[in-house]
Chain A
Amino acid sequence: MVEKTFNREEFDRLAAEFRYIITDIICRSGSGHLGGALSLVEIIITLYWRVMRINPENPGWPDRDRLVISKGHAGPVLYTALAYKGYFPVRELVTLNADGTRLPSHCDMLRTPGIDMTAGSLGQGLSAAAGMALGGRMDRKDFRVFSIVGDGESDEGQIWEAGLFAGHRKLDNLIAITDYNKLQIDGATKDILDLEPLADKWRAFNWDVLEMDGHNWENIYETLGRAVEMKGKPKMIIAHTVKAKGHCVFENKAESHNIKVSDEKTYREFVEKMKVEDFDWPY
């Protein structure tokens, strides 16, 4: 673990700013994947502020920890973290989805500084993360590879191909997190394609499995810390989260997956209540 300092008020404030910015840049662009970005705010902040070994001044640092967001549509939450960490100017966040932007809805390693893998076609990122973990072992490097998969994404067969592979290879430098918000585009995961018993599945694939409240700072940090230290198997952390967590309209609603904002009135309805006191817009 990297940074031990933690101040709840500061982190709560940071999370609120994240939620406001994410909502605002998505709504300004007219549409976007709100729910699956807001469900990851505390996890992404903890990874970038307290866990991952990174160097924003040298995004390609060979010994850095990697993060593969396999659910590539969560771009906006990652972009917000990367901007705050200095990979690019915060004011650039407003270019989300704009013509010629470096910040497309889905993560693109060729466009955005700090993105370790392109993703968007669901199910593929975890294989790439496993490849990075395997390569790290080949090169006797001690970097860790983190990967975030969606619960809906876990319907894809390739997730389980990667799971079988990483378990077989005992890639203990791979720490995956399932964003288990229990909602996918067409409804509840238990109704569309039930993943349960999810923890048992990953254990059966020879992974160590941990569970955490994906919105509880201490629980996230403590669980990630334990996962990093555990040896011998890849780790799956099942993060119990709430889709569109903290949003004034969309919290825990499946339709938050990809929202449309067609006029000024809707924009205000979705954004106004998300504003943070004494927060100067950086753009």
Chain B
Amino acid sequence: MTGPTEMELHEKEMRQVYGETLVEMAKENPDIVVLEADLMKASGTTVFKQAFPERFVDVGVSEANMIGVAAGLSTLGKVPFCASFTPFASRRVYDQVTISVAYAGRNVKIVGTAPGITTGANGGTHMCFQDLAIMRVMPNMTVLSPSDAYELKSVLNWMARHDGPVYMQLIRGREPKMFGDGYMFSPGKAVALSEGKDVTIVSTGYLTRFAAEAVRILKTKGISSDHLHYPCIKPFDVDTLVNSAGKTGFVITVENQSILGGLGGAVCETLSEYCPVKIKRLGIPDRFGEIGSEEYLFAKHHFGVADIVAAAEEGIR
């Protein structure tokens, strides 16, 4: 078993929510502009182009230029949202984001779509496992990975209000309803999805729903979990993690990323300094991606629901 079984899927794809939320926000905020690098349909922003053609900029397949143009637009008070596939929105433009955006203090929002294994049939070249890691070591950068449509909408509204650079992972497809209309994103705050005493399970983005499923299964086995969802990888909520680790004494991290440097890295850095406990990191173990189904990749790299359950049982024993 690799995926959630019980949760109801949201009727809209995440990318549709992205595009529609941008349109909604742009009606209120004339400074919002949207940039694409020939992936408008994949990002879900066609609806924005239709609603605000004069505020929509497709630069063609030139991501570096997209970041620079966004930086220039931001000097005039515009709030640019730039999207591309995750590898091209992060590692391909890493120096442009570092210098023209973060170092220059520009208010530019960068959105990496189809993160990690969710890029599916595009395979290894498009599977980026390091974007959370490389973005979180960039000074001045906020790093986000929302899990469902409600959280995405709230995150986007916060991003538009926040004056500063932000990197956000955007899952493309339909996701289960983890939260609801009343959800309010708080920057720098973890979200406690369940309370327990035996193990702390820390997850973000796409993997949070899988972790939630594992938590339910563990409960049937008599294991109670503190499940902490981190939509905000940076700034990182240290207190919530340290309090939970102090209580359970065992932490599992789960992410759609390399186990090096991302959420697992942030957790290890934090706990080794403030609350050393046993930690198990689940994710991609320092490997490149490859073409394959999510089931295949979960099984190969051992970070699906069954693996989370097994890691908890083993760690507690």
Contact = CB atoms under 8 A, between A and B. Distances in A.
A232 interface: no
B71 interface: yes
Q: Report, as a range, how many residues of chain B touch the other chain.
A: 20 to 34
Given A118-B104, A130-B69, 11 more contacts: A66-B75, A109-B104, A117-B71, A127-B68, A127-B69, A132-B73, A135-B72, A158-B62, A161-B64, A161-B65, A162-B68
B270 interface: no
Contacts of A161: 59, 62, 64-65
A14 to B, nearest CB: 29
A62 B76 CA distance: 8
The 4 closest A-B pairs by CB, nearest first: A131-B72, A127-B68, A118-B104, A128-B72
Interface stretch (B94-102, B120-128, B182-190, B194-202): B94-102
Contacts of B65: 127, 130, 158, 161-162, 164-165
Given A131-B68, A164-B60, A124 B75 contact: no
25 contacts: A62-B76, A68-B72, A109-B104, A109-B105, A110-B104, A116-B75, A117-B75, A121-B98, A121-B100, A124-B100, A127-B72, A127-B96, A128-B69, A131-B71, A131-B72, A132-B72, A132-B73, A135-B75, A158-B96, A161-B59, A161-B65, A164-B62, A165-B60, A165-B65, A165-B69
B179 interface: no
A138 B104 contact: no
Given A118-B103, A124-B96, A158 B68 contact: yes
A100 B246 CA distance: 41
Interface of B: 33, 54-55, 57, 59-60, 62, 64-65, 67-76, 78, 95-96, 98-100, 103-105
Nearest to B71: A128
Nearest to B99: A121
Given A124-B96, A135-B78, A139-B76, A130 B54 contact: no
Interface in A116-168: 116-121, 123-136, 138-139, 157-158, 161-162, 164-165, 168
Nearest to A123: B64
Contacts, number: 106
Contacts of B72: 68, 117, 127-135
A136 B73 CA distance: 9
- Per DSSP, chain B at the interface is helix
A124 B99 contact: yes
Contacts of B55: 138
Contacts of A121: 95-96, 98-100
A117 B64 contact: no
A117 B73 contact: no
Interface of A: 62, 66, 68, 108-110, 116-121, 123-136, 138-139, 157-158, 161-162, 164-165, 168
Nearest to A157: B64
A136 B72 CA distance: 10
B180 to A, nearest CB: 37
A249 B33 CA distance: 50
B162 to A, nearest CB: 18
Nearest to A162: B65
B78 to A, nearest CB: 6
Contacts of A120: 99
A95 to B, nearest CB: 20
Given A116-B75, A128-B100, A165 B64 contact: no
Contacts of B95: 121, 124
Nearest to A129: B72
Contact of A127 (B98, B100, B104): B100
A165 B72 CA distance: 13
A115 B55 CA distance: 26
Nearest to B62: A161
Contacts of B75: 66, 109, 116-117, 128, 131-132, 135
Contacts of B78: 135, 138
A165 B59 contact: yes
- Name which of B64, B69, B76, B78 has the most chain A CB atoms within 10 A of its CB: B69
Contacts of B98: 121
A66 B71 CA distance: 14
B99 A127 contact: no
B99 A110 contact: no
Contacts of A129: 72
Contacts of A117: 71-72, 75, 104
Nearest to A168: B60
A135 B76 contact: yes
Contacts of B71: 117, 124, 127-128, 131
Nearest to B33: A138
Contacts of B70: 131
B103 A128 contact: no
A128 B103 CA distance: 14
Nearest to B74: A131
